Structure 1
Amino acid sequence: MDDATRIELEAATFRRLVAHLRERTDVQNIDLMNLAGFCRNCLSKWYRAAAEERGLGLDDATAREIIYGMPYAEWKDRYQREASAEQQAAFVEAIRKPDA
């Protein structure tokens, strides 16, 4: 596979992941963090960092809007729920574990 095709496939896969996360508003960021070690906010930070590596200025709010499909504050108002005690405990436990 040539580099151009690989990059196209990676970009398509990323777009599919973002679209999936936009559709699955029932899945909370803390759930993603607890299960996968990353969340929508992580994706937005990685997106911003990639833009900066290429000399493109992109602030956190704009990067989050790209990932969430709407301003972050709006997403939080619509979909974010208070994390349960169990979710918070799982998060604390996950961040205490050394990297595998």
Structure 2
Amino acid sequence: MDDQTRIELEAAAFRRLQQHLMEDRPDVQNIDMMNLAGFCRNCLSRWYQEAANARGIDMTKEEGREVFYGMPYEDWKSQNQTEASPEKQAKFEKSFKENVLKDKS
């Protein structure tokens, strides 16, 4: 397989993942994804932003989120996010340290 085809297939897989998370399963909470898999929609939007920045494209965290979510993040939260239990929040703190902060060191 040539590089261009590989890139196109990877992009198609990313778009399908984005569609699945945003349209097919907006009920799945970011905190549950993070606690189970070590990443969530915010991580995907951050990785998108970081890839843009690495290529010299100025993009803020909020701009990356808006691209990924298809709307301002605050709108997404108000439409889809539910309150997390103290147990989920504690598990999230551990997962965030192990996965997100580790990525930045």
Superposition TM-score, scaled by structure 1 size? 0.88
Percent sequence identity is 61
Which residue is 1:6 aligned to? 6
1:5-47 deviation per Cα after TM superposition (whole angstroms, max 9, x unaligned): 1100000000001111102111111011011100111111111
> 5 Å matches for 1:1-100?
1-23=1-23, 24-94=25-95
Structure 2, unaligned stretches of length 5 or more? none
One-letter identity of the residue aligned with 1:42: C
- Across the aligned residues of Structure 1 and Structure 2, the Cα RMSD in angstroms comes to 1.9
> 1:90 Cα shift?
2.9
* Distance in 2, Cα, partners of 1:96 & 1:49: 19
The number of residue pairs the alignment matches comes to 99
One-letter identity of the residue aligned with 1:80: Q
* Distance in 2, Cα, partners of 1:93 & 1:54: 31
Distance verdict in 2 for CA 1:53–1:92, change over 3 Å: closer
Structure 1, unaligned stretches of length 5 or more? none
Range moving further from structure 2, 30-39 or 90-99 = 90-99
Distance verdict in 2 for CA 1:96–1:75, change over 3 Å: closer
> 1:62 Cα shift?
1.3
Superposition TM-score, scaled by structure 2 size? 0.84
Range moving further from structure 2, 44-53 or 83-92 = 83-92
4+ aligned runs moved over 6 Å, structure 1? 96-99
Secondary structure, counterpart of 1:78 in structure 2: helix
